[in-house]
Structure formats: structure tokens, C-alpha cells
Structure 1
């Protein structure tokens, strides 16, 4: 049985963090694009990418760690962000959300942390609503290190060594 061609997805990796606030975005891949508005490079990942799909499953399995810190953060834990999948006409776009909020109806809301590429009319900073099933990753900062960020890890091998090493140094090791 022939399988359908994989659709590309958009992935972004946060790297510039100051005082628990995420300011910059670095993405990597064989196609390096830079968006004019936010200067965020973009990487496309196929929906059939087994390593990325495994990272998404690990992130979803460990989501209780995120919510525990979100609900009762220690003074050293800041910058709680979720990566959320949004359907597009080309497949899907995964975007980090800042200022995440649990809503009384069981859904969530947050603000786009970067400029969406394939969501017409949506812009960085816009508030949107989403469901838990749309969450593809999570992260927060603890003592200046990234906790979580499972979907960042498969992308490291495609980055220039210096960039990958700098990002690895920013990630908390278990």
C-alpha cells in the first residue's frame, strides 16, 4: 500500500532567554528561510519524521511536569510556553505560545510567540484558543536552563555545531 507524501510542518526553536522571558527564535533545517517581520528562520519537518513524532509523544507524556510547575512554580521557574499545532491548508504549523492560560471551559489560550507563516491574518502576539490535544511540546526555564523542549532535540543534529552546542548548554540535563 502506497503512503501519501508527507506534509511539511513549521518548527521554531527558542534560544534567546533573558530573565525567564523568551525573546529570540532560531530554527534550522536544510531549507533556511528568514521571515521579514520577525527575522525568524523556519524549518520544515515531514509529518512522517519518526524522530520528531517520538519527541512529540515524549512531550505529551511528560506534560504533567509542565502543569505542575505552571500551577505552582518555584521562584527559579519562569517562561512557561507550549508548542501548539494549528492546521493549515498545507498541513500544519507548530508554534510556541507565550502567556498560556487555562480557561474555565477546559481549553487553553496563549499568544503567538513568533510570526505565523501559514495562518493568514494571524500575527505574533495574537491571542488564540486551543485544546490540550493540539499541544505538541512544552518548556519553561529553571535556573536559566530550558526544561522540556523535546521537539528541540531532534533538530540539534541539523544545526551548525556551534549553534547546537550553545543550545545544548542552555538545556537542563536530567
Structure 2
């Protein structure tokens, strides 16, 4: 089985409608590069959440999360998709809006509200003051599957290093 990863990760941060319509890039669940990226992103998740979720539970609007959501589809077991407009739920999970057009979630559309828990988070994105985005560990892997023009466009939007220096 494969997982479906959205290369349209930058929609919310950029408000660029064309990126919302980009295709998915499938990866085998055993893909070592994608799994390493997910592991690395998750290794920094507690630090990111502690900095961007206030004591009152309010989530900073610069934070987006990418979650692996189970789907019932013959091609994939999970759709990995970006979620924005986040809020913390009473049980410590999250709710937010789909920031991409889902490919394998019939009945769901861009902007639909979705609920997920921390264990489903596979990546994160933080929009910096300079307009570049930190995180995007999975996006960096996906760039190897893109055309040179797509990879350049994405590369221009994400930070050279996924972690801010101040967070190390």
C-alpha cells in the first residue's frame, strides 16, 4: 500500500490558489526517505507546539500541521494532507481546515473542518517573518519527485534549514 502526500503544502501560507490544485505524490509506506523526514519532523514537534500554542490553548496562526488521515480507498491507506486554522480540542487533539484539495477523501473538500490527534501529525510548517517557511520535512523529500521548476518554486518558499536557529 501507499500513502498519498500532498505537494500543495504551501497554500495557506501563500494564499496561492494554483498550489492548491497540484497533484499528489504517492510514496510507499516503507519509503526510507519519507519515513526519515516524518521521524525528524516529529522529533521537533513538542518544541514547535510548546512555542506556538499558548497557555490558553490558542494556536498561533503561523502554524500549520500535516496529518496522516486514514482513508478507505483501494490505492492508499492514508492521505497525508496539510491542515490550517488550527485549534486545540478538549481532549488535546486538534481541529482545523483542510488546506489542500483531498484526493482520497470522498465528501471532503478544501476548507472542510477535520479533527485529528497528535499521533497523526507527520510534519509541521511555521511561517517566518521573512515569508519563508520552517519545517516542511516531507516537502523537502517530495521536491526530489518534482520537476525542476516546481522544486525551484517550492525551494524559494521554504527555509534552507527546517529548524529556526533560536529553537535549537
TM range (shorter): 0.7 to 0.9
CA distance in 1, matches of 2:27, 2:18: 17
Runs of 4+ in 1 over 2 A off after TM superposition: 13-17, 20-26
Per the alignment, in what secondary structure is the counterpart of residue 90 of structure 2? Answer: coil
Length-normalised TM-score, structure 1: 0.77
Shift of residue 78, structure 1, vs aligned partner? 5.2
CA distance in 2, matches of 1:12, 1:167: 13
Gaps of 5+ in 1: 1-6, 27-37
Gaps of 5+ in 2: 55-59, 162-168
Q: Say if 2:30 is the partner of 1:48.
A: yes
Which of 82, 85, 102 matches 2:68? 85
Q: Say if 2:148 is the partner of 1:155.
A: no
Shift of residue 114, structure 1, vs aligned partner? 1.6
Which residue number corresponds to residue 140 of structure 1? 126
Q: How many pairs were matched up?
A: 151
Q: How does 1:90-109 map onto structure 2 within 5 Å?
A: 90-109=76-95
Higher CA-based Rg: 1
CA distance in 2, matches of 1:138, 1:114: 14
In proportion to residue count, which structure has more strand?
A: 1
In proportion to residue count, which structure has more helix?
A: 2
Per the alignment, in what secondary structure is the counterpart of residue 128 of structure 1? Answer: strand
CA spacing shift, 1:8–1:25, aligned 2, 3 Å = farther
Shift of residue 165, structure 1, vs aligned partner? 2.2
Shift of residue 8, structure 1, vs aligned partner? 1.9
